[in-house]
Amino acid sequence: MTALTARADVSRRLNTCVTRDPVEVERAQRLRYQVFSTEYGSDLGAATPGLDADPFDRWCDHLMVTDGVTGEPVATTRILRQDHSHETGGFYSENEFDLSRLLARPGRVAELGRTCVHPDYRNGATIGLLWSTLAGWLTEHRVDRVIGCASISMQDGGLKAWRVARHLQDRYLSSEDDRVWPKRELPHLTRSNPERPVEIPALIRAYMRLGARVCGEPCWDPEFRCADVLVLLEVSDLSARYSRHFMRRIPQGA
């Protein structure tokens, strides 16, 4: 595994790697459970207490950021290549959306999933390191397009999720050629306060800064008690600022 390091502050060092080691994957699954169960108020239907795990994990590369002092994982995402998706019966997001139009387009696709960051590490250094390692992976595997479900909590009954989804569609909607359709539509809510600022979750803001687009209406995920939007990123459309930032961090010959 190739490790990178960055300073989150004067006293904190972060390391990152991409792994399939079962021991490391289980550590990522424990972090996912800790973050998701708290944020979405759900036990995630976990088969093993304290673990967020599913059959997709086996076929994914798992990107992990760890605290260099404690060794504990503080951020993670998993990546499923299109040429491995036949082993899982398709992408995870195909359980929630009809992707037929999007996947009919040419280009190599990979799917991000289960992305999370520990609350104490939600800063530019951690998220930047997560994306820089992802950029290296995308370059190595010659991926053209990245898709993934971005989640919004529905603990308030769904009003925030609907307002965020509407905001994203107004400003970051994909072309018709990449449109998808939810298999469980999010209930429409008429209550709204147009003067109240829309609070976009930090990870979704990061996707949009990378040039990502949302591909249509949100899907309701009852297991996680959240709303998901399907996000698409054209790797060639990464902004120049992020491309330079990422490529500086990728070791030569990685």
Which residues does the chain have with pLDDT short of 50? 1-11, 190, 239-241, 247-254
Alpha-carbon distance of 214 to 81, in angstroms, equals 20
| Alpha carbon distances (Å) from 223 to 91, 104, 175 | 18, 29, 30
pLDDT attached to residue 170: 93
Q: Are 117 and 74 in contact (CB under 8 A)?
A: yes
* Count of C-beta atoms within a 10 Å radius of residue 23: 7
**CATH number of the domain where residue 123 is located:** 3.40.630
47 within a domain of the structure (yes/no) = no
pLDDT attached to residue 128: 84
198 within a domain of the structure (yes/no) = yes
pLDDT attached to residue 131: 85
Q: What Rg value do the Cα atoms of the chain yield, rounded?
A: 18
144 within a domain of the structure (yes/no) = yes
Specify the residue for token string 């459970």: 33
pLDDT attached to residue 145: 94
pLDDT attached to residue 108: 94
pLDDT attached to residue 2: 37
158 within a domain of the structure (yes/no) = yes
Instruction: Count Cβ neighbours within 10 Å for each residue of 124-139 and write b for 16 or more, e otherwise.
Output: ebbbbbbbbbbbbbbe
pLDDT attached to residue 3: 38
Overall number of domains in the chain: 1
pLDDT attached to residue 106: 92
pLDDT attached to residue 121: 92
124 within a domain of the structure (yes/no) = yes
